[in-house]
Amino acid sequence: MGMFETLFEDKVIMITGSSKGLGKEVALQLAKLGADVAVNYCHDESKAKETLGEIRQYNRRCLLCRADVSDEEQVHAMYRKVLREYGKIDVLINNAGKNDDDYVHFLSEERWNGVMQTNLNGTFLCSKYFSKNMIQKRNGKIINIAYLQGHLGSEGQSNFAASNAAVIALTKSMAKEMGQHNISVNAICPGYIATDLNRGNTNKYHIAKDMSTMQIAFGMKDFVHFVAFLASDLVNGISGQIFNIDSRIK
C-alpha cells in the first residue's frame, strides 16, 4: 500500500455517482490510498452524507457535490466547486449510471431518453468541463465506467446497452482529441457485479447465477483495485483502450 499512497499523494479525483454502489467502493479505496476525493450524488442526500462520513475516516479533505450529471448547469457548478476547493482536478471517473429495463416495444421515449441522458450525456458533460483544467495543466486522466452490455447487447436492456456502446465510442473519440494535451481517456467495462443499480433486477440476477458453464471470477474488490491501478501514475501513456474485466472461465 505504501507505494500506492505515494502515487496518490496530492491527487484530486472526481467520481460521479459515488454515494453508493461501485462508485462508493472506488471512492473509499482511493481515499484510503491518500487521494482527495470529490463525491457526487443526485438524489439521496442522507446516503451521500453517510458515505462522506465513511470516506473522511481516511481523508478529511474529501468533498460532497450534489449535481445531476445530465444537467449542464449543475455539472458546470460542480466543476467550479471542485476547483474552488482544490484548485485542480487530476482524475475524472465517470461512474454515474442509470438503468430502466424493458423490451423495446414497451419502452417510452421518455424512459429511453432518461437512461441515455444520464449514462451518455452525463459522461460527455462531465468530461467537457473537468477536462478544461486538465488541458490547462497539460495532464490528467478520464476513466469512463461502461458495461459489457455495450459490447454484447442485452435482452430487455436496449437503452442501457446502447448508452454504454455510445460511451465506448465517446471514449475512443475523446482519447484522440485529448492526447495532444497529455490527457488519457480509457473505459472499464465490468460484467455483472451486484450493486444498487442492478440488485433488484431478477432477470439479470438469474442470468448471472445460471451460467452453469461459466465461473465468474471477478468481483467488487477486483474492480476497485483495477480502477485504482488505472487512475495511478503506474499507468501512463495508455489511452483509447476499453478494458473488459469480466473474468469468465469456460
- Domain residues for the domain of 224 are 2-249
Confidence of residue 212 (pLDDT cuts 50, 70, 90): very low
Residue 187, all three cell numbers: 473505459
Confidence of residue 195 (pLDDT cuts 50, 70, 90): low
For residue 193, the domain's CATH number is 3.40.50.720
Confidence of residue 148 (pLDDT cuts 50, 70, 90): confident
| Predicted confidence (pLDDT) at residue 202 exceeds the cutoff of 90 | no
> 12-40: b or e for each residue (b if 16 or more CB lie within 10 Å)?
bbbbbbbbbbbbbbbbbbbbbbbbbbbbb
Q: What is the mean pLDDT of residues 72-98?
A: 98
Q: What is the mean pLDDT of residues 53-58?
A: 94
Q: What is the mean pLDDT of residues 43-69?
A: 94
| Alpha carbons 9 and 189: distance in angstroms, whole number | 27
| Predicted confidence (pLDDT) at residue 201 exceeds the cutoff of 60 | no
| Alpha carbons 142 and 126: distance in angstroms, whole number | 10
Domain count, the chain: 1
Percent of the chain's residues with pLDDT above 90: 76
The pLDDT of residue 196 is 52
The pLDDT of residue 152 is 83
Q: Where are the alpha helices (DSSP H) in the chain?
A: 2-8, 21-32, 45-55, 72-86, 109-116, 122-137, 149-152, 158-178, 202-209, 220-231
What's the predicted TM-score (pTM) here?
0.89
The pLDDT of residue 181 is 97
First CA to last CA distance, the chain: 33
The pLDDT of residue 246 is 73
CA atoms within a 13 Å half-sphere pointing along the CA-CB vector of 22: 31
| Predicted confidence (pLDDT) at residue 192 exceeds the cutoff of 90 | no
**Model confidence over 134-146: pLDDT tens digits?**
999 999 999 999 9
| Alpha carbons 106 and 226: distance in angstroms, whole number | 37
Helix (H) or strand (E) holding 93, with range, is strand 91-94
Q: What is the mean pLDDT of the chain?
A: 88
The pLDDT of residue 247 is 59
| Alpha carbons 208 and 203: distance in angstroms, whole number | 9
| Predicted confidence (pLDDT) at residue 96 exceeds the cutoff of 90 | yes
The pLDDT of residue 215 is 39
Cβ 122 vs Cβ 72: under 8 Å: no
**Model confidence over 154-167: pLDDT tens digits?**
899 999 999 999 99
Comparing 92 with 197, which gets the higher pLDDT? 92
C-beta atoms surrounding 106 within 10 Å: 9
